[in-house]
Amino acid sequence: MSVRKLKPITPGQRFRVVSGFDAITTDKPEKSLLAPIKKTGGRNSQGKMTMRYLGGGHKRKYRIIDFKRAKTGVEATVESIQYDPNRTAFIALIVYTDGEKSYIIAPNGLQVGQKVRSGAEATPEIGNAMPLSQVPLGTVISCIELRPGQGAVMARSAGAFAQLMAREGKYATIKLPSGETRYVLADCFATIGAVSNSDHQLLVSGKAGRTRWLGRRPRTRPVVMNPVDHPMGGGEGRASGGHPRSRNGVPAKGYRTRAKAKASNKYIVERRKK
């Protein structure tokens, strides 16, 4: 995977860095795995704005991703690596031996023609999904379940990966991308390997218009609002705005909002770094 820096033939391209898309093998998605996405523009059923700074953007179709990998014991072949407009990671189209097609999050290094499978009998190779009880200690993993059968919820974005640190009883200890170390049930599935498109963090949009293509409208800074609109608003001239806080008055920049009595606290071995 590589990135390309464009020649500065326009102001918008002067600083733009785009993906090289070396890993992509086709630009035609599988029609049977597409679903429509209805845009709301941040409005509810009454037409009132409930989410600010949303709207516009290019039309998209949703790619139905198999996060559960529940088809165990059946081998599948990687048919293509594709771009997904709904996520930062690339996706892989796999075809099972019985003819069924499915999309999965493509791990780094997955090749067209490679065989993948899921289940307890799968080997710890890139692209295979298996329970944490069967994964060798120290293995780099991604697309991790939090509850058995729930489907992958952790380490799914571009370049993300976790590491299996230890196993004790029915729990496995995992170091997550945030730096947090926590217990997860050893029956939960995870995919071997880090998520693809790790160079995503190097991309530079180059112009404001590209953010509009992604469906994000311009965001007003709280400091330039009026006091009625935000706790940091108001003041004469260019006032700094006081202590950083949200629209509802909750302090930002290090203030911890996690509930002290949250049920999942007992599963966290080490909190993420500040």
pLDDT digits (tens, 9 = 90+) for 47-74: 999 999 999 999 999 999 999 999 999 9
Q: How confident is the model at residue 273 (pLDDT cuts 50, 70, 90)?
A: confident
Residue 223 pairs in a beta bridge with none
Which stretches does DSSP call E strand in 76-197?
76-82, 91-96, 101-105, 115-116, 129-131, 140-142, 144-145, 152-154, 162-168, 171-175, 181-185, 189-192
Taking phi over 0 as left and psi of -120 to 50 as alpha, with beta for the rest, 206 belongs to: left
- The structural domains of the chain, ordered by start, are 3-201 (2.40.50.140)
pLDDT digits (tens, 9 = 90+) for 74-128: 999 999 999 999 999 999 999 999 999 999 999 999 999 999 999 999 999 999 9
Distances (CA, A) of 89 to 176, 200, 220, 224: 17, 8, 29, 36
Q: What CA–CA distance (Å, rounded) separates 61 from 53?
A: 21
User: What is the reported pLDDT for 240?
Assistant: 87
